[in-house]
Amino acid sequence: MGSRFSLFVTFLTLLVASHSALSPELYWKSVLPNTPMPKASQIFYTLVDLVEDKNTAVDVGKGGVNVDAWKAIFKNDVKISYKNAASENQLHDVQNTAIFFVEKDLHPGTKMNLQFTENLNEATFLPRQVAKSNPFSSNQMPEILNRFSVKPGSLEADIMQNTIKVCEEAGIKGEEKYCATSLESMIDFSTSKLGKKVQAISTEVQKRTQLQEYTIAAGIEQMTDNKSVVCHKQNYAYAVFYCHAMQTTRAYVVPLEGTDGTKAKAVAVCHTDTSEWNPKHLAFQVLKVNPGTVPICHFLAEDQIVWVANKKPEE
């Protein structure tokens, strides 16, 4: 759990820098000059730290392969694979928490039990050239584990292997999926589906709280009525985002206020066609509805990003 791969990352990062590669942040600004980075953009800045401090150490246990984050995944996020049935443990973990809700409840005055917890996954993006130099496939697991000094058979190894498996499995009908291993590749995938006149939005919370009741306040903003690209952060040795483009989603920014006064602007994604989902998916079991009957929504964690086409004309 204290495995380190800092020398490897630092060497490759400095190698990229020596070739005057465009930094991830500059790439964003060059491709999307009119699109502000979302608050989740703190995941993009490790490159600078590594270049300026040769002694920077990246701890796998503290970074992307975070065992505590893995165990608590259903307290912080939703299961993104629509093919999977919910287990008894997962059903137990989401009791009394509004992991899913129906779209008709998305209006001011609705009360929900929510918890915005600390992000335990601190992994950050590598530059594209560095990420591309790393193997990333199931048949290369021995090389991957050796490269990051992860012991085969350990929980960390299982977590990394599961992330790759999720990335490799086929999506459902109508879902275009892609795992971005760099900020540049996330930008390229999202703009290939939506164009370059886009907004990138993420959930913003005033402070971390325990599970408590939140009330939806006035000012709900619908960001898109059909297509969006949603990118979910995965557990890995560096930042990997599972991105999927769907034609049947609506995205909203929802103002919330907790009983303790905590305010949040939470991003909600509503799926308007769930007919291809596993009938025993967590959402159906929690909401007691059948596939394809009603739009199903969920809030996103702070380290997830929703890309939508910009409705407002660019200046």
- Beta carbons of 3 and 144 less than 8 angstroms apart: no
Name the band, by pLDDT with cuts 50, 70 and 90, for residue 93.
Answer: low
Name the band, by pLDDT with cuts 50, 70 and 90, for residue 256.
Answer: very high
CA–CA dist 277, 82 (Å, integer)? 5
Structure tokens that stand for 220 in this block: 């709900």
Closest CA to 244 of 184, 172, 181: 172
Using CA atoms, how far residue 80 sits from 130, 177, 179, 278, in Å, is 27, 11, 13, 12
DSSP state for residue 21 in the 8-state scheme: P
* Mean local confidence (pLDDT), 268-293: 92
Of 60-64, 222-226, 249-253, give the lowest mean pLDDT range.
Answer: 60-64
Position 11 pLDDT exceeds 60: no
Higher pLDDT, 132 or 96: 132
Of 29-38, 95-104, 120-129, 213-222, highest mean pLDDT: 213-222
CA–CA dist 78, 267 (Å, integer)? 13
| Predicted pLDDT of residue 127 | 87
Length of the chain equals: 315
Of 122-131, 132-141, 181-190, 210-219, give the lowest mean pLDDT range.
Answer: 122-131
pTM of the model: 0.81
| Predicted pLDDT of residue 221 | 96
CA–CA dist 135, 27 (Å, integer)? 23
- Beta carbons of 112 and 213 less than 8 angstroms apart: yes
Higher pLDDT, 71 or 218: 218
Position 6 pLDDT exceeds 70: no
| SS3 of residue 213 by DSSP | strand
Position 132 pLDDT exceeds 80: yes
Name the band, by pLDDT with cuts 50, 70 and 90, for residue 84.
Answer: confident
Of 88-97, 258-267, 269-278, give the lowest mean pLDDT range.
Answer: 88-97
| Predicted pLDDT of residue 120 | 65
Name the band, by pLDDT with cuts 50, 70 and 90, for residue 71.
Answer: very low
| Predicted pLDDT of residue 22 | 67
| Residue 205 identity | V
Q: In percent, how much of the chain has pLDDT > 70?
A: 75
- Note the pLDDT tens digit of each residue in 18-33: 334 567 888 999 999 9
